[in-house]
Structure 1
Amino acid sequence: MPSVATNGTNGTNGTKGLPDFQFFNIIDGKRRTSKDHHQVTDPRTEEPLWDAPIASTKDLDDAVEAANRAFKTWKNSTTAERQKAVHDVANVILENVDILTEAQMKETGKSRPMSRFDVERAAWHFEYYRTVALEDELQYEDDTIRIIATHAPIGVLGAISPWNFPLILSTVKVVSALATGNCVIIKPSPFTPYSLLKFCELAQSVLPPGVFQALNGGADLGEQMTLHAGIHHISFTGTIAVGQRILRNCAGTLKKVILELAGNNACIVCDDVDLDKVVPQVATGALFHAGQVCVASKRLYIHESIYDRFLERLIEESKKFAVDDDESVSFGPLSNKANYDRAVGIVEDCKRNGYKIVTGGEVKPREKGFWIPPTIVVRPPEDALVVREEQFAPIVPVMSWAEEDDVIARANIDNAGLGASVYTPDLDRAQKIARQLESGTVWINQFERPHHAGFFGGWKLSGFGGELGKQGLLHYCHTQSLQIAK
């Protein structure tokens, strides 16, 4: 967690050049300060940002009490009432797009265009569930019985959010909870608390008190949420190790759990692709947001017959992801010092082992900021650190393959169950390969981006349960079977 300053201020640090924002924990519809605060570092400048209040154990207990009180009413709201609420929240996001863009831009290091796109995408999630809901389903009927499946909300959701896309990935959890009649307490990553705290504060204008609350803190607060008997459901996006700990914690109270974990995703490029079209797509899949995307192409497998030509074009394409372009819509610094140090360690490991780096490889191309340029590593072995572990940085290992069975086996490692991509104009061949990949989502002839209408969940070490689409709502509900005698 970033360093803590216990200065007792009301959420503004007076740092020159920053908008005069204040940030609060949101409990029972009200803003709450704290005697303890921390400041996040701007990834572009390494300068401190605003004070963010740190929630106490009492704050958590108060929020849980308020959520359970609100749930008694909210769970009985109609589908129409919930859909109006999510539409109203979407409008709140769009009406405050400049504020949310600024806060997220500063905390993540994203450019203004990239941050604004994220804010607008967050609103799309709410608009999608304005028209999508779970209905009662007739499961079986004969002369003696009629069986109906209905879907009841679980209760209070504890949502623990990541730092790479604070608003996009968090709003998936929030809207899924609200649309199904649950209440939600969200904990932002301590690296990116600002946009979520501000979003929750703004949303209070259109939601009943206690239905949506926000508490800022570090791993200790997340641990308390997973163990709290008054929280009935956890949704977490983050690392495998933390996800496993959460699953163990939740076993004590048999909480429902959704985990989206690491995705060391494979990208398979076949020998029949159009390089002019495919290389830019693959480069975007690997380097967008400096590789800090859960489903980014982390391992490239290029057919050996086109490997050299593909690599040459990929090197040129990577130069378009400039580290000195503050208005880039696709690239930026690494979002925090911890991830930067981890990425530097991967680059250093490649150099120590003599792996061929054909572009990039430098660190600190700027005097300030957590920048690493696009770095391409040629044919490292499968047991190399840069291959076996998710880089979450613009460091791209590029391997070759000849036989489909071989590349599929290499793709299907245990920490690669979140996403994958396949490029070939032969759609029968593409689906044949895709259906053999042990991954929750496979993108065919496109770079990897989750779609709000498509179910999204990891397999194996990459996750547990899932979200998005109509099917994702099932993971926020109990299914009740009504068996009616005739």
Structure 2
Amino acid sequence: MGSLESPKFYNIINGEKRSSAKSHQVTDPRTGQPLWDAPIASTQDLEEAIEAANKAFRTWGRTTVAQRQDALRKVVGVVNSNQAELAEYAMRETGKSSLMGQIEIGNTGRQIEAIIGQALQDHVQHEDDKVKVVATHPPLGVVGAICPWNFPVILSTLKIASALITGNCCIVKPSPFTPYAVLRLIELCVPVLPPGVLQAVNGGADLGALMTTHPGIAKISFTGQTSTGKKVMASCASTLKKVTLELAGNDAAIVCPDVDVAEAVTKTSTGAFFNAGQMCVATKRIYVHEDIYDDFLDRFVAETREKFRIVEDAGVPTIFGPVSNKLQYDTVAKVIADAKQRNLRVETVDADKVPPNGFWVPATVVVNPPEEALVVQEEQFGPVIPILKWRDEEDVLARANLDNAGLAAAVYAKDLARAESLARRIEAGSVYINTFELPNENAYFSGMKDSGLGGEMGKQGLLSYCYTQSLHFSKV
């Protein structure tokens, strides 16, 4: 492989490392400097990967659950024994601190272990004196995993482990913004999995489009922007692929007047600025009751100034960093510019200490913007958070529930009955009570409205990676 100073990366096809005629480089978000060459898979590379996956599926699809669990435990071993290297690549390509890189890779192994324990078993759906009906879960075939850039390893392995534990083969296309750690991980897995079971092809939107229309792929699992997800779904329709789409959210947090304000500030600020707000389920709008608004706002701004500072040294343990790529940097800058053009109160941390290079956006709080402001209406996916005021429950629910998004939300209240009542009326796939949004690998994760189709995680998530076949045993 080479040292971390001059590593080599490969597409992985049929158990072999594959170089390419074309390559691209990722920009280090902390410094603005180019990183390493990443191979760009050709159309022929993809064709060969699909052929190899379908060939491998003939055997892999007939393995037992226990055999697949054993294989995935070996993958966990690969992740755990190469944590330092994988964390370094993830850190460099995303702009995370070393702490955040370690958190991502450490959680990756634990997530795969959880999926191993969720493996689907046959079960009796119905039985009477005439018939017994047993549900089985045969695999689909080849899964194409089109993966995002914010947490490249853990979100890729979520799709990989879900596909493999259900008996599918998997072809992974990492984000072209963050290809390194995923390509290296799949290279490291070559010795522990049969050829063709897990492969990697790196490329851009054109390669993803080929995956969505290819008849040799049975399912696409995609995480990314809603506009792209709609294109994926339309393309998959030509071959009636199964589709899982985890798309954009614009998560609202509702803070009730009976909360411990200091505690609510700590949790909501973490939800907003963890990984510089670059999480699908980051808190993106905070609605605070008018009775505590001023106190909450003062504490929130003070805590933000204390905890979410710009730190250029990636070795310093911090959960805040730069925006991960220029495209997203421009999106966040547009949101902040809109707030300033509206003459809104904008509180910025370290505004005078922004490094000249890299994609740094200081932690930013927009005070009580109107609902039509971009920071309220659009998912910013970066370190800028609006804090809005509310008085009436029906009003705040109407504002929190958007027409075009419903991924996750949070409610903070000491009165748990009130919190649950609010949570049940929020139109989002996951609602978190008295904590910031943090998916649990044992809980189904899906979005409402334009935030997705289908879902991942938990046994319900695994059902989307297979058919359900009903066996009817007659007793008469």
Report what 1:172 is aligned to.
158
Q: Within 5 A, what are the aligned runs for 1:23-42? A: 23-42=9-28
| 1:3 corresponding residue in structure 2 | none
- 1:379 Cα deviation from its structure 2 partner: 1.0
Match of 1:321 among 308, 331, 337: 308
2:337 paired with 1:351: no
Q: Which amino acid aligns with 1:437?
A: I
Shift of 1:364: 7.6
Given the two structures, how large is their TM-score scaled by the length of structure 2? 0.97
Contact 1:344 1:363 in 2 (8 A): no
TM-score under structure 1 length normalisation: 0.95
Aligned to 1:463: 452
2:38 counterpart of 1:52? yes
Q: Secondary structure in 1 aligned to 2:320?
A: coil
Give secondary structure in 1 for the equivalent of 2:99: helix
CA distance in 2, matches of 1:313, 1:455: 34
Asked if 1:187 is matched to 2:173, the reply is yes
Alpha carbons 2:309, 2:349 under 8 Å: kept: no
Separation in structure 1 between the aligned mates of residue 16 and residue 265 of structure 2, nearest angstrom: 50
**Where does residue 116 of structure 2 map in the other structure?**
130
Aligned partners of 1:416, 1:301: CA distance in 2, in Å? 17
Question: What corresponds to 1:453 in structure 2?
Answer: 442
Distance 1:353 1:274, change over 3 A: same
Which residue number corresponds to residue 162 of structure 1? 148
Shift of 1:361: 9.1
Matched, 1:111 2:97: yes
Which amino acid letter does the alignment assign opposite residue 216 of structure 1?
N
Q: Which residue of 2 aligns with 1:206?
A: 192
Contact 2:222–2:244 at 8 Å: present in 1 too? yes
1:405 matches 2:394: yes
Match of 2:361 among 365, 372, 378: 372
Where structure 1 has 5 or more consecutive residues not aligned to the other structure, the ranges are 1-10
- 1:92 counterpart = 2:78: yes
Q: Verify the 8 A CA contact 1:270 1:423 in the aligned structure 2.
A: yes
Distance 2:368 2:379 in 1: 16
Q: Which amino acid aligns with 2:138?
A: A
Checking the alignment, whether the CA contact within 8 Å between 2:309 and 2:350 is kept in structure 1 is no
Q: Distance in 2 between matches of 1:415 and 1:212?
A: 35
- Work out whether 1:253 is the aligned partner of 2:239: yes
Q: Does 1:284 align with 2:270?
A: yes
Residue 413 of structure 2: which of 416, 424, 439 is its match? 424
Distance 2:160 2:99 in 1: 24
Residue 190 of structure 1: how far off its partner (Å): 0.4
Q: Which residue of 2 aligns with 1:4?
A: none
Which whole-Å CA distance do the structure 2 matches of 1:317 and 1:242 have between them?
36
Question: Is contact 2:96-2:321 (8 Å) kept?
Answer: yes
Where do residues 216-235 of structure 1 align in structure 2 (5 Å cutoff)?
216-235=202-221
- The residue aligned with 1:67 is 53
1:100-135 Cα offsets, whole Å, 9 max, x none, are 011111100000011011001111111112322111
Residue 276 (structure 1) shift? 1.8
Q: Distance in 1 between matches of 2:95 and 2:348?
A: 23
3-state SS of paired residue (2:469): strand
Query: Contact between 1:364 and 1:372, CA under 8 Å: does it hold in 2?
Result: no
Give the deviation of 1:355 after TM superposition.
1.6
Per the alignment, residue 385 of structure 1 pairs with 374
**C-alpha displacement of 1:451:** 1.1
Question: Alpha-carbon deviation of 1:360?
Answer: 4.2
| Structure 1 residue 362 displacement after superposition | 4.3
- Displacement of 1:329 after TM fit? 2.9
Whether the 8 Å CA contact 2:145–2:159 is kept in 1: the answer is yes
Offset, 1:384 = 1.1
What amino acid maps onto 1:376 in structure 2? Answer: V
Residue identity in the other structure for 1:398: I
Residue aligned with 1:477, SS: coil
What amino acid maps onto 1:274 in structure 2?
Answer: D
| Equivalent-residue separation in structure 1 for 2:291 and 2:53 (angstroms) | 59
After superposition, the CA RMSD in angstroms is: 1.4
Name the SS of the counterpart of 1:49 in structure 2: strand
Q: How does 1:140-159 map to 2 (within 5 A)?
A: 140-159=126-145
- Letter of the aligned partner of 2:250 in structure 1? N
Report the CA distance shift for 1:400/1:361 in structure 2 as closer, same or farther (over 3 A). Answer: farther
1:66-111 superposed Cα distances (whole Å, 9 cap, x missing partner)? 0000000001101110111111101100100111011111100000
User: Residue 363 of structure 1: CA displacement?
Assistant: 8.6
Q: Is the 8 A contact 2:10 2:183 kept in 1?
A: yes
Q: C-alpha separation between the residues in 1 aligned to 2:351 and 2:208?
A: 35
Deviating runs (4+, > 6 A) in structure 1?
Answer: none
Could you tell me which residue of structure 2 aligns to residue 196 of structure 1? 182
Q: CA deviation at 1:356?
A: 1.4
Asked if the contact 1:18/1:49 (under 8 Å) is kept, the reply is no
In the TM superposition, residue 484 of structure 1 has moved relative to its aligned partner by 1.7
Q: Give the deviation of 1:325 after TM superposition.
A: 5.3
The reply on whether 1:478 has 2:467 as its aligned counterpart is yes
- Write the deviation string for residues 399-440 of structure 1: whole angstroms up to 9, x where unpaired: 011111111111110333111000011111111111111111
Query: What SS does the corresponding residue of 1:152 show, helix, strand or coil?
Result: coil
Distance 2:122 2:56 in 1: 24
